[in-house]
A = this chain, B = another copy of it.
Amino acid sequence: MTKKKVSDLMGVKNLLFPYLPVLVGANVDGKPNYITIGLVGWLCYDAVSVSVGRKQYTNAGIKENRTFSVNQPMASMVRQLDYCGLYSGRKVDKSVLFENFYGDLQTAPMIMECPVNIECRVIQIMERSIHTVFIGEVAAIHLGEEYLAQGVLDITKVDPVFFAPDKKEGKYSGSYWRLGEYLARAWEVGRDLTGDEGR
Known A-B contacts A3-B117, A13-B141, A16-B22; A178 and B180 likewise in contact (beta carbons under 8 Å): yes
Within 8 A of B (CB), among A22-62: 22, 38-49, 51
- Do the beta carbons of B13 and A138 come within 8 Å of each other? yes
Within 8 A of B (CB), among A84-108: 84-88, 91-92, 97, 101, 103
- Do the beta carbons of B6 and A143 come within 8 Å of each other? yes
Contacts of A186 in B (CB 8 A): 82, 85, 163, 173-176
- Which residue of B is nearest A38, CB measured? B42
Known A-B contacts A9-B151, A70-B16, A166-B154; A87 and B161 likewise in contact (beta carbons under 8 Å): no
Contact of A129 among B19, B44, B170, B194 (CB under 8 A): B44
- Do the beta carbons of A189 and B17 come within 8 Å of each other? no
Interface size on A, residues (CB 8 A): 115
- Do the beta carbons of A155 and B13 come within 8 Å of each other? no
Report the minimal beta-carbon distance from A6 to chain B, rounded to whole angstroms: 4
Instruction: State A12–B5 Cα separation when bound (angstroms).
Output: 38
- Do the beta carbons of B5 and A140 come within 8 Å of each other? yes
Instruction: State A154–B18 Cα separation when bound (angstroms).
Output: 10
Contacts of A154 in B (CB 8 A): 166
- Do the beta carbons of A179 and B162 come within 8 Å of each other? yes
Q: Which of A103, A113, A152, A175 has the most CB of B within 10 A?
A: A152
- Do the beta carbons of A152 and B140 come within 8 Å of each other? no
- Do the beta carbons of A83 and B175 come within 8 Å of each other? no
Instruction: State A40–B181 Cα separation when bound (angstroms).
Output: 23
Instruction: State A186–B81 Cα separation when bound (angstroms).
Output: 9
Contacts of A166 in B (CB 8 A): 149, 152, 154-155
- Do the beta carbons of B45 and A14 come within 8 Å of each other? yes
Contacts of A12 in B (CB 8 A): 45
Instruction: State A43–B158 Cα separation when bound (angstroms).
Output: 25
Contact of A177 among B103, B182, B198, B199 (CB under 8 A): B182
